[in-house]
Amino acid sequence: MTTLVLPQPYLLFLGDATVLGVAKTALGLKDWAPERCIGEFSVPEATITAGLPWMRPAQARDAGARSLLIGVANAGGFVAPNWIPALVEALEAGLDIVSGMHMRLAAVPELKSTAERCQRRLIDVRTPPANIPVATGLKRSGKRLLAVGTDCALGKKYTALAIARSFEARGINVDFRATGQTGIMLAGRGIAMDAVISDFEAGAAELLSPDAAADHWDVIEGQGSLFHPAYAAVSMGLLHGSQPDVIVVCHEAGRTSMLAWPDFALPTLEETIDLNLRIGRRTNPRIRCAGISLNTSHLSEEAARDLMAQESARLKLSVADPMRGGPQFERLLDACLADW
């Protein structure tokens, strides 16, 4: 895997986002790499903010920004027509454009011609490496942890990042392995798993986390959900190819249906644990669930603490919100490392 060198700092573009989950790329950059973010920019239809100063591209360029980073992930990953004038404005202001969308920036004629005229770069992050091998299914050395979930956009990336950083703080030899656009932008390397042809998905996951020393951990960012009506294929290929020794199941407290798929109810935590373990045993018979990462961002501190205690007692597993930390998260880390 090659390491990306992206033009920084960024002006985060929120497009026309009206749902928080759609802006997960911008929010992830702001939360995990705030030093790289100058401000935010959007079109009038947007109602979501990352909490950064709102700037026009020329203002951001004067403040030190070097690129406009598309911080939204809409269904289908396309550049919406009402974004184009704003993106053209960014190019004309002297900013490159960084995108993790499925649609290639140069496929938009106005962007391609403006970039050529202004001598700016159109940088697509969601480009998998060439010549990905078909998976072997053979066990690799080293230890692996995969964040899995009941749905999309509920904390798998945040969970993996928090666990990787905490492992490192404990002196453990660890790498965060990015599998989505935001993770790649943060880590500077990785493979966008949902851009890989299905037959090579598990092979890409094997490539992402190769043989390693016995005391080395790869903490792998999860994608989607095995229960998702549209994206389950990515989740299954990643699970098979990652061959995780440990999974942590991610869920958002209070969410009852799939984000943007309201006709599909979320699976229970028990169903999610069971299905991931049954499928995961195909390539790692010793796979186990260490616990639950519970996104409690909408709850008060007291309500979150009570819910985590209740779920832990009910499931007989460690339950924690990595963003809140505390003794619950330390117990989850201990559970991840229990057999190490």
pTM here is 0.89
First to last CA, the chain: 27
Q: Does domain 143-336 have CATH number 3.40.50.300?
A: yes
Sign of the four-CA dihedral 272, 225, 169, 307: negative
Q: Which CATH architecture has domain 10-124?
A: 3-Layer(aba) Sandwich (3.40)
| Residue ranges covered by each domain of the chain | 10-124, 143-336
Same fold, 10-124 and 143-336: yes
| pLDDT tens series, the chain, 340 aa | 667 789 999 999 999 999 888 898 999 999 999 999 999 999 999 999 999 999 999 999 999 999 999 999 888 889 999 999 999 999 999 999 999 999 999 999 999 999 999 999 999 999 899 999 999 999 999 999 999 999 998 999 999 999 999 999 999 999 999 999 999 999 989 999 999 999 999 999 999 999 999 999 999 999 999 999 999 999 999 999 999 999 999 999 999 999 989 999 999 999 999 999 999 999 999 999 999 999 999 999 999 999 999 999 999 999 999 999 999 999 999 999 998 7
| Cα 29 versus chain centre, distance | 11
Q: Angle 52-53-58 (CA atoms, 0-180°, nearest 5)?
A: 125
Q: Distance (Å, rounded) from C-alpha 287 to C-alpha 179?
A: 20
